[in-house]
Structure 1
Amino acid sequence: MSLHDDAVAVLEAYAGPDAQQKELRGTYLDHLAGHPDGMWKACGAGHLTASALVVDPERGRVLLTLHRKLRMWLQMGGHCEPQDTTLAAAALREAAEESGIAGLTLLPGGPVRLDRHPIPAPCHWHLDVQYAAIASAGAVERISDESLDLRWFPYDEVAGVADASVVRLLESTRVRLGHGR
């Protein structure tokens, strides 16, 4: 199965918690149906990306990266690579590379959210498939070349440093963990 095929299967299985997420799921599936290259950065109409919010549920905190180019506190994530066999594997790879944490595990149940956001030309859209990754007790982070900083934030401080998409991802992750509002 190709990465494109995996993405279609993941999205078809994604129920989405609300009408907006279900509509976005349809947008992603339409994009993949119309763009055989829709998984790759080279797709000028936009492309799928994979990300993961690194969570330490025992301490009620998340690890965010201060993105080098965007200068924003974000979850770990990025472009799919040819060696990625699944969207989940891409999200986990990105989380491990950008956090420096070995042994992360994805929260069961598939993606936590979808988030479509504009990016500068030549590509126009990131269609992000967002997962949550659990850090083991005592995990030690290491800043990558893509980050200016890495920092653990208590759940209640995330809204003060990150944009609404990260806040929504955290809220959905907390619900999935059984710690949500």
Structure 2
Amino acid sequence: MPSTQAPTAAPEGSTPTDNGGGSVRVIKKYPNRRLYDTDSSSYITLSDVKELVMRGESFVVRDAKSGEDLTRAILLQIILEEETAGVPLFSEKMLANLIRFYGHAMQGFMGTYLERNLQIFMDLQQKMAEQAKEFTPELWQQWLASQPTLMMPQFFAQSQKALAQMQEQMLAAFGVKRPPG
């Protein structure tokens, strides 16, 4: 079963060190579109970068010439490949709705909201995985298929709470106070 840890690509504009004081893996992207892993001193593929994400390893992708941070672009490229091969995660309607938020005043809040909700979902998935350690992958799939809404009420409650917190932050940013009640 894949790790449910959030990918730990280094934040944009950050220096290559992680929170634990160790080094973040640096991958250099050359003009010929090849990726060079400075830790293993070898060329790697997008599949290898995907494996780093799946293992929760910290990394940053930098342009070999300019040093520009290309991590987001590489992660988006991996998502594009995953979306075009097999069963896509995003529907056309969801993608269209996401596009509508670019340039919108709520763009920053939408990104934060999606990130928080994905983390809540991943935390719930991790809790369920810990509770079902003795399950084989087959039993896990059967159980999930028979209980599709079991974790949803908890997820929706946490999602509502995250949205309410964001609304409060937004109102506070504009100096608006909610009336008590």
TM-score range, shorter chain: under 0.3
The structure, 1 or 2, with the larger RCO (C-alpha pairs under 8 Å, 6+ apart) is 1
Say which structure is richer in helix.
Answer: 2
Give me the TM-score of the superposition, normalised by structure 2: 0.23
Say which structure is richer in strand.
Answer: 1
Give me the TM-score of the superposition, normalised by structure 1: 0.23
